Amino acid sequence: MTVQQEAPGGEALEVWIDQDLCTGDGICAQYAPEVFELDIDGLAYVKGADDELLQAEGAVAPVPLPLLTDVLDSTRECPGECIHVRRVSDGAEVYGPGAE
Ligand code: SF4
């Protein structure tokens, strides 16, 4: 079952990581272990709604509303500047290095 989560503005958000820029420090997994995890290659990946690690580069996962603050803290603190949060509806980056 896919659960749509919405940000306070009413927009469903999703998150992906650019593994090419990930430093593997694990800050994201400390802030939001329900959403981010380091794989055996030492890089961070997102987790799907069923807690499954999505091991494809650039895989996209929904941002659960209760975890939005943790995800945004991760995005802000990520030294690789490689965590991207975007709107599901139009794919626009709303938090992260590509946000306006
Ligand atoms: S915080 Fe950024 S650089 Fe660090 S492990 Fe997570 S995605 Fe990679």
Closest CA to 29 of 58, 59, 53, 62: 53
Contacts of 9 (CB under 8 A, 6+ apart): none
Please state the domain count of the chain. 1
pTM over 0.85, yes/no = yes
pLDDT in tens, 46-62: 999 789 999 999 999 99
Tell me whether residue 1 is in a domain: no
Domain of residue 39 covers: 13-95
Percent of the chain with pLDDT over 90: 85
Tell me whether residue 6 is in a domain: no
Q: Is the CB of 23 under 6 A from ligand 1?
A: yes
The CATH number linked to 84 is 3.30.70.20
Tell me whether residue 7 is in a domain: no
**Pairing state between β 44-46 and 83-87:** unpaired
Q: Is the CB of 78 under 6 A from ligand 1?
A: yes
